[in-house]
Amino acid sequence: MKRVNCLYRVSTKRQVDKSDENDIPMQYTACHEFAERNGWIIKNEFYEKGVSGFKVSANKRDSIQDLKKAAEKNEFDILLVFMFDRIGRIDDETPFVVEWFVKHGIEVWSVTEGEQRFESHVDKLTNYIRFWQANGESRKSSIRIKESMNQLTEKGVYTGGVTPFGYKTVPSGRFNKSGKELIDIVIDTSESPIVRMIYEKTIREGYGSHRLAEMLNGMGIKTHNGSGFQCNTINRILSNRMYCGYYISSNIESPHLPHLQIIDEETFELVQNIRARRNVKNEQKTQIALTTKGKTLLSGNIFCGDCGSRMNASSYIYKGKEGEVRKQRYMCCNRHRRIKTLDECSGQANYIAEKVDSAVNTIISEYLSRIQTTAKSVALEKRYHTEIAETKDQMRMAEQERRRLDERLSQLADEVGKSLTGESLYTPDVLSMSIEKTKKELQGVEDSIVKFNFMLNNSQGAMSKLDFYYDQFRSWAEEFHNASLEQRKMIVCQLIKEVRMSKGYQIDIELDMSYAQFLAVE
């Protein structure tokens, strides 16, 4: 009597109770009946719960590896499955897994498809085609499921996934076709204030992810899995747009869901701006201080007026005239060299940090006093009309470019026919590349036109954005002189786009356009 090992793949992750008829999978019943009809005895059964035969390689599937070990020890004669795709659906791997068992003396049977043999080239080809088709079906299923999930996200329906810090899941009272209760995600009122604090510390005091993690761990706050905070945990919180009130799935964004909003969109975008400017790749020209722990106002966001490279703060200790020990801080260009090299900077060797801070403070104070005398209604109205005019100009330019590209695409299409008859100067390959390039350029222009149309039609959003920057500018004016050094550094970093220091303490300050626009109002 032949000994059989059965392999089942079931989606449920709970333990199968074979004593309960309602809990026995259809595969289990079919395999047992098939073995009984053929006079075989089932020795062992392997259940793979929640394992994808399409995504997971056989090398990483415990059941396949256990079956191979048993085959090498001659512990069974037949590997029985309901369908061959239960063994796997990877077209460049699974056929060879099946062939491996056959070469080791194991018959491979399917309840619905019979025995898989390898006695001829036709058998091998049939084996490959079967799993190639299964692979294709899995890809189609994956696409359908992904599209279905995207559609649900677009409708504002929660489709599952890891629950971000600041939220929790609750029973929804709704049930799916299988009778399983669905869940909803809601704001966790005990965690949401912590999320807001993380964002505020980033904006107001320049806290980085490491410092924020240390702060939360010091407060005894834990993540959802009960562990301490890591830098990656903080970065995920700071980059998750769900906090603005959106479900995000595969770059698909739901409509705005006010009941999920913890952070307003302006605050979120401000944090993204700070994080992007702190990126090491942009280190040479970032205006955001890489750290706010330094003792100088502009450490990390001031540049040399001669060579354009970053200036860093340093200090040295010396003895005064009466022998007392003194400490002096100064700013020095990174590229400055005392000896002549190709990298030599002809600017001043160093600048006393106190003089630099004093000069910048004076200029910033003047800007802040000017915004306090600028009427909000006048500032917003004039800036709004200016932005609308600028957007309309950009729209006209984009439409002109679209017409040019459309004409170019039409000309290239005419050349294709000539090329095929040998009447064109261009080969079909060259024309194909040109057409593809033009189509990509055209798509980019059309995307810009859609964006400009949205901006022109979304007057409320434009006014809201201007209102946010104006209110922030005014709040800085009220708190700047009484703020801590860390807070003043972050205000300066966000208000100023670039500070350039030249010989004789000549300072050139360029304001960020988001704020400079209000000072331009007459």
Are 199 and 209 in contact, with CB atoms under 8 Å apart?
no
pLDDT tens profile 435-481: 888 888 998 898 888 878 877 776 656 666 777 777 878 888 887 87
Q: How many CB atoms lie within 10 A of CB 472?
A: 19
Q: 């695409």: which residue's tokens?
A: 409
Residue 499 is predicted with a pLDDT of 83
Of 270, 510, 514, give the one whose Cα is nearest residue 387: 514
pLDDT tens profile 9-63: 765 544 444 544 444 467 888 899 999 999 999 999 988 876 665 567 777 788 8
Query: For a pLDDT cut of 90, what percent of the chain falls above it?
Result: 19
Lowest mean pLDDT among 70-79, 379-388, 425-434, 506-515: 379-388
pLDDT tens profile 195-222: 999 999 988 888 888 889 999 999 999 9
Confidence bin at 148 (pLDDT 50/70/90): low
Output 322 or 27, whichever has higher pLDDT.
27
Question: How many whole angstroms separate alpha carbon 308 and alpha carbon 345?
Answer: 10
Which domains, from first to last, does the chain contain?
A: 3-152 (3.40.50.1390), 376-514 (no CATH)
Question: How many whole angstroms separate alpha carbon 284 and alpha carbon 412?
Answer: 43
Question: How many whole angstroms separate alpha carbon 120 and alpha carbon 123?
Answer: 5
Residue 425 is predicted with a pLDDT of 78
Residue 20 is predicted with a pLDDT of 43
Tokens describing residue 181: 């209760």
Residue 299 is predicted with a pLDDT of 58
* DSSP string for residues in 361-400: HHHHHHHHHHHHTS-HHHHHHHHHHHHHHHHHHHHHHHHH
Most confident of 172-176, 282-286, 301-305, 406-410: 406-410
Name the pTM for this structure.
Answer: 0.50
> If DSSP codes are grouped into helix, strand and coil, which group holds residue 126?
helix
Q: Is the pLDDT of residue 67 over 50?
A: yes
pLDDT tens profile 346-357: 778 788 888 888
Q: 């504002």: which residue's tokens?
A: 156
Phi, psi torsion values for 337, nearest 5 degrees? -125, 145
Q: Is the pLDDT of residue 138 over 80?
A: no
Of 225, 176, 205, 508, give the one whose Cα is nearest residue 215: 205
Residue 318 is predicted with a pLDDT of 65
Confidence bin at 508 (pLDDT 50/70/90): confident
